[in-house]
Structure 1
Amino acid sequence: MKISHYLFSALLLFSGQVSAQCLTRGTGDMGIVIERADGSVQVVDRRAHKALFRIEGLGDLSHASAVYSPDERYAYVFGRDGGLTRLDILCGTITHRIVQGGNSIGGAISQDGNLIAVSNYEPGGVKIFSASDLSLVADIPATPVNSEKRAKTVGLVDAPGQRFVFSLYDTGETWIVDMSDPTKPQIHKYEHIGQQPYDGLITKDGRYYIAGLFGQDGLALLDMWHPEQGTRLILEDYGKGEQKLPVYKMPHLEGWAMAGNRAFLPGVGHHQVLVVERGDWKPVGKIPVYGQPVFVMARPDGRQIWVNFAFPNNDTIQVIDTETLQVIKTLKPGKGALHMEFAPRGEEVWISIRDRNEIQVYDTRSLEMTHSLPAASPSGIFFTARAHTTGL
C-alpha cells in the first residue's frame, strides 16, 4: 500500500523519529521552534506554515537560544542545563550533543561559522567548540569571585574580526576574545564597567556592544571600532534603580529594536518604551504602553515596533509606528505571548503563545492573524535568516 507524502510526514512528526531520507530543498524559509516544557524542537517551513520534524532529547530548554551555520543547514541549540546540541534541520536529527557546563545562558557562532561559544553560570566562563563536531577548542574561565566560585558570564555575542564579547555579572567586567588564531585566544578585559551586568547586545553593524546593568542605573557601552577607549556609561537615568513598579521580568537586551538612527528599548519597571538617539545615546522620547515591556522588536524595514510584556500582562502585543511614535494596534493573542520572530523581509511575524500551546502568525500589513500551528509550550522561534546577521 502506498502511503501519501502528507501521511508520511505526519508519522515522522508525531513519532519523533526520522527516516534515513533527508529533505532535498533550500533552507532559507526554514526555522526551529523551541518546545521548552518537553525538551524538544520543531523544524518548521516558514512559508508553508507547517512543521516538518519534531526532534526530542535536547534537555532543559527553559531558557534556550539557537544560532545557525552559514549554510543554514545546522542549528546549534543552547540549553539551560549546559547542553549544546547540533541539529541537522534537513534530516530532523541530532548530529552531536554535549553537556559542557552546569548552568548555561546562551551562545554565539563566530564570523566564519567555524566556532561555537557558550556562556556559563556554572562553572563561570566561556567555552569555545568546533562547529563541525563540538570538540573543545578553548576554555576561558571567568574571574574568581572566591576560592570556590567564578563570575557568571552573560551577554555573549559574536563580533566582526572573529571575536566574541561577553560580560561578567559578579565582577562588573566586559571581555573581548579574539579567536583569529584558535590555538592562541587573545583576551582583552575591561574592568569596572558598572554593577552587575546581566545581559548584552551588539548592534547589527557590529560596532557597539551594550551591557545592561542590574545593580545600578545606566548601560555600559563599548565601541568595537575603538575598543582602546574602553567602556562608558550611557543613559544614566535608565534602569532598575529608578523604577517605580515591581520588576516582574528584566527585559532582554537582545530584544532591543534599532530603526534608522534610533533605538527603542524597554523601560525597566515602567509601562513605556524609550526612544534613544544612536551616537550620543540620549533619550528623545517615551511611548506609553500596556505593561512592562520584555521584547521591543523592529520589523525588518524599521517602520513598526512590536512589543510584548511581562506578567501579568503577557497576553498582549502592541504595535508602534516608528514615524508617529504612536501605538497603532493592541492584540490579545493569549497568555504567555513570549517570543516574536519576523520573516526576513518583514511581511509576517510569528509569536509563541505558551499557555495556548500554539504559534500564531500575523500579517504585518493588515495586523491580522493568518495562521496558527500547534506546539508544546513554545518559547523561542529562530529562522535561518539569523545565519547572516551579526549578534543573532
Structure 2
Amino acid sequence: MRIRSFVLGTVAAVALATGAAAADGFGEGLRGTGDLGVVIERATGQVAVVDRLESARLATVEGLGDLSHASVVFGPSERYAYVFGRDGGLTKVDVLTGTIDARVVQSGNSIGGAISEDGSLVAVANYEPGGVKVFDAETLDLVADIPATDIGEGKRSKVVGLEDAPGNRFVFSLYDTDEIWIADFSKDRTAPEITKYPAIGRQPYDALVSEDGRWYLAGLFGEDGIAMLDLWNPDKGVRQVLEGYGRGEEALPVYKMPHLEGWAVAGGYAWLPAIGRHSVLVVDMDTWEQVAEIPVHGQPVFVMARPGGRHVWVNFALPDNEFVQVIDTQALEVVDTLEPGPGVLHMEFTPRGDRVWLSVRDKDEVHVYDTATRERLAVLPAEKPSGIFFTSRAHRIGL
C-alpha cells in the first residue's frame, strides 16, 4: 500500500507540473496532441494551431518566413510540426505550447521535405543549391548534405518529390537531370547509401509514395506518363506507366499543375487529376492502366479520398477554384457539388473521415464540413490560408 501511494503521489505531482507547463501555452491543464493540427497562413508567414474536435483556433505562431509553398510533417509524438518554407526555412513548431522550438534557414530556395520512419531525421528538398539536406529532428543540427547532379556553371539540379520510405530511406527526383535517387540512412545516419536511377523520363516535377510504402511515382512535366519505382524491389529499376497521362489529346492551358500527393487510393484504384482536362482518371493499381475517366467541373488539383474510400473529394484550379465536388467511388460519378468560396486551396480529412477542413484563401477563412451530410459546421478566420495538416499524419507513410 505504501508503494502504491508513493506511485500515485508521484504521478499526481508530474501531472500537476505538466498541467502548469501546458497552461503556459494556450490551454489550461493537460492536453493531448491527437486532436491538433496546423493551418498555413501563407501571406503573413505564420501558422495557426487548431483543434479539429472543437473546430477552434488555439494559437498563432509567427516568424516562419516565406510560406507561399509550405508543407508540414509531424514527429512521431505528434507534438512537433516541421514546417518547410519556400525561402529555405525549416521551423520546428511545438503545437502544445504554440511556440517555435527551433529554426534554421538551410538554403536559398526549397520545395518541401519529409521525416524518416523512426522520426529521428528531417530531410529538405532544395532548388538552390540543388540537393537534399538532412537534419537531426531533435536539434535541427545538420546530419548529412547530399548535393544533386552538377548541370554546369556552378549549378546543380533542382530536387523535387522528396518522400519518406520504409527502412529510414528518402526518395527524391532530380528535375533537371531526369533522375530518381534513394538515400538509405538505415546503416549510417551521417553517410547514407545512395542509389541512382538515370533516364527515368523528362523533368520529374512532383512525386508520391503509396500508403503501403511500395510505389514511388513521379509525374513528368516534359512528357506524358509517370515514372514508377517499386521500393519493395528496387533492383528492378524505374519503368514508365500511364503513357497517356499528361496534357491530353488536345493542347489546353494548364492553370495549375496537380499535386501528386493529392492523389487518392480507394477500392483498389488510384484516383488522379487529369492535367489540363476537366476530369478525374481512375487507374487499376494491379495493372497501372486507366479504367475510367470521370467528368468534373474544372481542372482538378487535389483528388483526395475520404478515409475508408467511399467518396473522393476534388478541388480545382482557376477559374473554378470556388467549387468542390464529391465522387462516389462505386458509382464512378459526381454526387455533390459544393461552393465554399473563391480560392479553395487545400482539403484535410479528420482521421476517421467524419469531417473535412477546407482552406478558402480569398475569403480568409477555413471551413469545416460534415462529410456525410456535406453540411458546413464551422468557419474559422485565417489570413490567406493554404495547407491544412492534422497530427494524424505522423503515423502515415509519405506524408
Give me the TM-score of the superposition, normalised by structure 2: 0.93
Partner residue in 1 for 2:49 = 43
Q: Secondary structure at the match of 1:254?
A: helix
1:250-329 counterparts in 2 under 5 A? 250-329=257-336
Partner residue in 2 for 1:99 = 105
Matches of 1:49 and 1:250 in 2, distance apart? 30
Choose from 236, 239, 244 the match for 1:232. 239
Contact 1:215 1:240 in 2 (8 A): no
Deviations 1:126-153 (A, max 9, x none): 0000000100000000001113210000
Root-mean-square deviation (CA, aligned residues, Å) is: 1.1
Matches of 1:245 and 1:123 in 2, distance apart? 33
Q: Secondary structure at the match of 2:145?
A: strand
Partner residue in 2 for 1:11 = none
1:20 shift after superposition: 3.6
Partner residue in 1 for 2:376 = 369
1:1-392 counterparts in 2 under 5 A? 20-21=24-25, 23=27, 24-180=30-186, 181-240=188-247, 242-392=249-399
Contact 1:315 1:333 in 2 (8 A): yes
Q: Secondary structure at the match of 1:85?
A: strand
Contact 1:37 1:61 in 2 (8 A): yes
Q: Secondary structure at the match of 1:145?
A: strand
Deviations 1:94-130 (A, max 9, x none): 0101100111100000000000000000000000000
Contact 2:26 2:59 in 1 (8 A): no
How many correspondences in the alignment?
375
1:62 shift after superposition: 0.3
Contact 1:264 1:296 in 2 (8 A): yes
1:21 shift after superposition: 4.3
Matches of 1:19 and 1:151 in 2, distance apart? 47
- Give, as a single letter, the amino acid of the residue that structure 1 aligns with 2:314: V
Q: Secondary structure at the match of 2:150?
A: coil
Matches of 1:171 and 1:241 in 2, distance apart? 24
Contact 2:225 2:246 in 1 (8 A): yes
Partner residue in 2 for 1:10 = none
- Give, as a single letter, the amino acid of the residue that structure 1 aligns with 2:151: V
Deviations 1:162-197 (A, max 9, x none): 000000000000000001110221000000000000
Matches of 1:356 and 1:22 in 2, distance apart? 26
Contact 1:30 1:46 in 2 (8 A): yes
Matches of 1:378 and 1:22 in 2, distance apart? 21
Indicate the structure (1 or 2) with the bigger Cα radius of gyration: 2
Contact 1:216 1:241 in 2 (8 A): no
Matches of 1:122 and 1:19 in 2, distance apart? 41
- Give, as a single letter, the amino acid of the residue that structure 1 aligns with 2:100: I
Matches of 2:281 and 2:240 in 1, distance apart? 17
- Give, as a single letter, the amino acid of the residue that structure 2 aligns with 1:258: V
- Give, as a single letter, the amino acid of the residue that structure 1 aligns with 2:357: W
Contact 1:123 1:150 in 2 (8 A): yes
Partner residue in 2 for 1:14 = none
Matches of 2:232 and 2:125 in 1, distance apart? 23
1:368 shift after superposition: 1.2
Matches of 1:157 and 1:49 in 2, distance apart? 30
Deviations 1:60-117 (A, max 9, x none): 0000000001000000000000000000110110010110011110000000000000
Percent identical among aligned pairs is 64
Structure 2 stretches lacking a partner, 5+ long = 1-21
Deviations 1:279-298 (A, max 9, x none): 21000000000000000000
- Give, as a single letter, the amino acid of the residue that structure 2 aligns with 1:175: W
1:241 shift after superposition: 6.4
Deviations 1:207-252 (A, max 9, x none): 0000000000000000000000000000001113645320011100
Deviations 1:305-350 (A, max 9, x none): 0000001110100000000011000111110000000000000000
Q: Secondary structure at the match of 1:126?
A: strand
Matches of 2:25 and 2:237 in 1, distance apart? 52
Matches of 1:242 and 1:25 in 2, distance apart? 54
Contact 1:217 1:242 in 2 (8 A): no
Q: Secondary structure at the match of 2:275?
A: coil
Matches of 1:21 and 1:288 in 2, distance apart? 47
Matches of 1:328 and 1:197 in 2, distance apart? 34
Contact 1:244 1:270 in 2 (8 A): no
